[in-house]
Amino acid sequence: MSQYVSRRGSSRVAPRLRFPAAFPGGHRKPRRIAMLSVHTSPLHQPGTGDAGGMNVYIVELARRLAAINIEVEIFTRSTTGGLPPVVELAPGVLVRHVDAGPYEGLAKEELPAQLCAFTHGVMQAWAGQGPGYYDLVHSHYWLSGHVGWLAAQRWGVPLVHAMHTMAKVKNAALAAGDAPEPAARVIGETQIVDAANRLIANTAEEADELVRFYDADPGSVAVVHPGVNLDRFSPADGRAAARARLGLPKDALIPLFAGRIQPLKAPDVLLRAVAVLLDRDPTLRSRIVVPVVGGPSGSGLARPEGLQKLAARLGIADVVRFQPPVGQEQLADWFRAASVLVMPSHSESFGLVAIEAQAAGTPVVAAAVGGLPVAVRDGVSGFLIPGHDPQAYAQALARFADSPELVARMGAAAAAHAQGFGWDTAASATADVYTAAMHEHRRRVRSLHA
């Protein structure tokens, strides 16, 4: 059991806190919200740079919120010149580009210095509207949280924040050679947790981490599982057809990595596991293809060709195919084509890619970290591996190589499991969190003026 200190200063024991899936909404839901995504645009291609699962999360959530009559305006930093100030992403969803710092060549680590400029841009957009234009601020990631904190105070509205990843959690599970998150981020996240009216966690474990590491008030934390676009990510016309479209061998064992290439995501573990697998059974070499779909990101940018060089050193360059990031439609085809998705991440707040692959009918072999034990049903829709030993991953891959029918059986179970993660459900639960935050905020304001 874990110890944590409450905000009142008393030490308590918290074996496993119960967090609401959402806050039941018996009051008015918001008409329009300001959503903040400072460091990455919802219009960017996931899988490269700083664009990943959070981008997908924001886009899909915003679309579904608009579908239930909650307008969403997403503020993000301009990263190229000449962008239109406002872009309609979907009916009821606007993306507002804010000038803050140089357009290009600014690393995420340098963005804290631009938060004042970004906040100024947000305030300018708000100033052109009437009073009460936004009912609520929903910020994503700690950089956005600081802007959201100030905006919510200025506008007199509640702040709802989603961490997505947390510095203390990442630092507790660093990949070899990866740099720890800076103290400034830890301090910033602590301030946001204290300032937010509501915190949205992807899983109960993430909710526990907010309380354990950041002293969050358990009553302010709601668990809302991210969703998956079940129309886009589906088994469709099957594995054979997807392989034909992508030029992949019909009967090959295809373990896939899809995501940002950086130590945190541990794509090297997959390559090392494949080397172990081929060392045990050299006959597999003629019938294995290992696609790596994604681009360098984060600390991976320091060695953008590091993974290619590792494949060469391991003697498996002939079976590994490096593919640049692709759009969501083609990504769905890569998932369908794969025998198994491999996610050896050191940390994942949820692991949206795992749900997307399962929805496409593909089992997953993943590290038993963060939200992945929620995303993957161990032994049913895939296998969860404790730790990051390539030998253990090789063992799991060998099960699919030795029993090809396991791909079809677990793939069917994976598709069924993913049906429980639709975005409509996630949007409805998020709207309940908004409603509860607004109700409590109004109650506090009334009590202050009573």
Could you count the other beta carbons within 10 Å of the beta carbon of residue 406? 15
pLDDT tens per residue, range 236-292 = 999 999 999 999 999 999 999 999 898 989 999 999 999 999 999 999 999 999 999
The two structure tokens encoding residue 186: 């830890």
Average pLDDT over residues 309-328: 95
Collapsing DSSP to helix, strand or coil, 196 comes out as coil
**198 CB neighbour count, 10 Å cutoff:** 26
Q: Is 69 annotated as a binding residue?
A: no
Is 29 annotated as a binding-site member? no
Query: Mean of the per-residue pLDDT values for the chain?
Result: 89
The pLDDT of 127-152, averaged and rounded, is: 94
Q: Does 300 show up as a binding residue in the annotation? A: no
338 is in an annotated binding site: yes
Q: Is 399 annotated as a binding residue?
A: no
CA triple 24-30-35, angle to 5 deg: 105
Q: What integer pLDDT is reported at residue 4 of this predicted model?
A: 33
Which CATH class, in words, describes the domain spanning 32-227+423-442? alpha beta
Average pLDDT over residues 117-145: 93
Alpha-carbon distances, residue 369 vs 206, 345, 346 (angstroms): 11, 8, 7
What pLDDT, in 10s, does the model give residues 85-95?
999 999 999 99
Write out pLDDT tens, residues 405-439. 999 999 999 999 999 998 999 999 999 999 999 99
How do the domains of the chain map onto residue ranges? 32-227+423-442, 239-419
- The answer to whether the annotation marks 203 as part of a ligand binding site is no
List the beta bridge partners of residue 296.
Answer: 261
Q: Is the pLDDT of residue 8 over 90?
A: no
List, for residues 9-27, the tens digit of each pLDDT value: 333 333 445 566 655 545 6
Please indicate if the annotation marks 323 as binding a ligand.
no
Q: Is the pTM of this model over 0.85?
A: no
50 in a known ligand binding site: yes
446 annotated to a ligand binding site: no
- The phi, psi pair for 118, rounded to 5°, reads -65, -45
Averaged pLDDT, 314-326: 95
Beta-sheet pairing, 86-90 with 93-98: antiparallel
249 is in an annotated binding site: no
DSSP 12-27: EEESS----SS----S
> Where on the phi/psi map is residue 249: left (φ > 0), alpha (ψ -120 to 50), or beta?
beta
pLDDT category at 102 given cuts 50, 70, 90 is confident
Q: DSSP of 435-447, one letter per residue?
A: HHHHHHHHHHHHH
**Residue 141, marked binder:** yes
At residue 139, what are phi and psi to the nearest 5 degrees?
-105, 150
d(CA 389, CA 379): 19
165 is in an annotated binding site: yes
Q: Do 307 and 293 touch, CB atoms closer than 8 A?
A: no
Confirm or deny that 53 is annotated as ligand binding: yes
Q: Is 304 helix (H, G, I), strand (E, B) or coil?
A: coil
Three-state DSSP state, 173: coil
- d(CA 155, CA 126) in angstroms, rounded, equals 9
Residue 47 known to bind ligand: no
Residue 318 is predicted with a pLDDT of 97
> Binding site annotation covers 396?
no
- Rounded to the nearest angstrom, the gap between the alpha carbon of residue 73 and the centroid of all alpha carbons in its chain is 20
3-state secondary structure of 68: coil
Question: Residue 307 carries which side chain, given as an amino acid letter?
Answer: L
**54 is annotated as contributing to ligand binding:** yes
- Is-contact 338 362, C-beta < 8 A? yes
Question: β-strands 32-37, 136-140: how paired?
Answer: parallel
Question: What pLDDT band is residue 7 in, cutting at 50, 70 and 90?
Answer: very low
Residue 362 is labelled as binding a ligand? yes
What CATH number was assigned to the domain covering residues 239-419?
Answer: 3.40.50.2000
Strand partners, 256: 341
Q: Who wins on pLDDT, 7 or 110? A: 110
Structure tokens at 221: 């934390």
E strand intervals along 298-408:
320-323, 340-343, 364-367, 382-385
Alpha helices in 215-251 (DSSP H): 239-246
One-letter amino acid identity for 268? D
At 177, is the pLDDT very low, low, confident or very high (cuts 50, 70, 90)? confident
Q: What is the pLDDT of residue 310?
A: 96
% of residues, the chain, pLDDT over 70: 90
Q: Is 382 annotated as a binding residue?
A: no
